């Protein structure tokens, strides 16, 4: 069978455990399986124990499965469910809820919730180097996430306050490199000048053209960047000087947060942002016609060396979050 192009084909294709194992192994070990304990002898590949679907290291004799040191480690959920769940997550424009995973793949909603959080971790891409450069254009903008406190459950409102300050809104700052068509975004503690400018220095190369809105917070960027400001009260778009790209990203993020995910705990917000960044940065463009299958393979290549436990997810290691979040 050909590699899948649609969700339906993915569910069918990955119904075979061996096919799942081969797919994960191929994407995580580009030079063939390696022992996670001793790394083994590069010249001698480990044995594959067909009946147990595990490898055995020729050096230290330990056995290991394809799930070891990945987001799938220790999960009782078979890869036949994990891989279609990943397909769903990367292919749905506004994200996918745990209820949809539950209904589509027949896992409990609670398991689906946990799976989605682990899968989002796989979507997180490590940032390599700075954005921009001489003659390139970078938009930077910030947005506030968090509903009206009035409409929030008291405890949730409190958790938003703990992370976002008295307004209960969390600040997310973002950057868009127009040439690379890549977005980065992260939660920042506040909209103070020191905070926002420090991030620009961290993320953007000197000499870039940096476009911001007229927030006073950016008014000292001129020494290191060509800084152009959009004055929204006068004209919304002044030629190339605008932050519409970033605003487009915010609206996609918020559509997912308010539509599919309804009530995101502040503690989990970062992972939803990472999910949206993955989708945005790997969307199809004229020069780069990526499809779901490409996005799936890319995500699958990022499952290694990432783990999050249920304990961490339910906030028990975060002193600021004392109650169990309601899965949705």
Footprint on this chain of Zn ion (rule: CB under 5 A): 35, 37-38, 40, 57, 59-60
**Cα torsion 181, 289, 16, 21: sign:** negative
In angstroms, give the least distance from the CB of 15 to Zn ion. Answer: 31
Give the nearest distance from C-beta 65 to Zn ion in angstroms.
14
Closest distance to Zn ion from the beta carbon of 31 (Å) = 15
Smallest distance, Zn ion to C-beta of residue 62, A: 5
Report the residue number, 35 or 101, with the smaller CB distance to Zn ion: 35
Q: Which is nearer to Zn ion, 70 or 173 (CB)?
A: 70
d(CA 13, CA 21): 12
- Beta carbon nearer to Zn ion, 57 or 86: 57
Q: Distance between CA 110 and CA 106 in Å, rounded?
A: 11
Q: List C-alpha distances in Å: 51 to 36, 47, 48, 314.
A: 20, 12, 9, 36
Please give the torsion angle defined by the CA atoms of residues 65, 67, 69 and 72, in that order, rounded to the nearest 10 degrees.
-160
Q: In the complex, what is the shortest distance from the CB of residue 63 to Zn ion, in angstroms, rounded to a whole number?
A: 9
Number of residues in the chain: 328
Nearer to Zn ion, 38 or 320 (CB): 38
Strands 209-213 and 47-49: unpaired
Return the number of the residue (35 or 210) whose C-beta is nearest Zn ion.
Answer: 35
């Amino acid at each position: 069978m050909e590699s899948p192009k649609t969700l339906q084909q993915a569910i069918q294709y990955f119904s075979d455990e061996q096919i799942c194992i081969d797919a994960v192994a191929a994407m995580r070990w580009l030079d063939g399986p390696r022992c996670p304990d001793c790394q083994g002898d590069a010249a001698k590949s480990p044995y594959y124990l067909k009946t147990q679907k595990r490898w055995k290291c020729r050096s230290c004799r330990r056995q290991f499965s394809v799930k070891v040191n990945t987001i799938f480690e220790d999960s009782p959920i078979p890869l036949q469910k994990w891989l279609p769940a990943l397909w769903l997550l990367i292919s749905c424009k506004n994200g996918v809820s745990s209820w949809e995973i539950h209904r589509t793949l027949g896992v409990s909603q609670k398991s689906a919730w946990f799976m989605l959080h682990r899968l989002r971790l796989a979507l997180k891409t490590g940032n390599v180097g700075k954005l921009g450069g001489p003659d390139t254009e970078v938009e930077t903008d910030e947005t506030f996430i968090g509903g009206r406190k009035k409409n929030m459950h008291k405890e949730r409102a409190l958790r938003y306050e703990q992370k976002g300050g008295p307004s209960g809104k969390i600040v997310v700052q973002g950057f868009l490199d127009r040439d690379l068509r890549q977005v980065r975004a992260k939660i920042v503690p506040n909209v103070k000048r020191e905070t926002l400018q420090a991030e620009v220095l961290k993320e953007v190369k000197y000499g870039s053209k940096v476009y911001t809105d007229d927030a006073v917070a950016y008014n000292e960027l001129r020494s290191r960047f060509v800084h152009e400001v959009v004055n929204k009260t006068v004209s919304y778009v002044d030629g190339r000087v605008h932050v519409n790209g970033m605003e487009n990203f915010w609206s996609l993020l918020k559509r997912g947060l308010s539509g599919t995910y309804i009530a995101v705990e502040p503690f989990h917000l970062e992972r939803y942002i990472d999910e949206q960044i993955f989708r945005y940065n790997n969307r199809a463009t004229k020069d780069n016609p990526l499809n779901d299958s490409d996005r799936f393979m890319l995500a699958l290549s990022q499952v290694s060396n990432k783990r999050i436990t249920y304990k961490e997810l339910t906030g028990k290691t975060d002193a600021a979050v004392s109650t169990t979040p309601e899965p949705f």
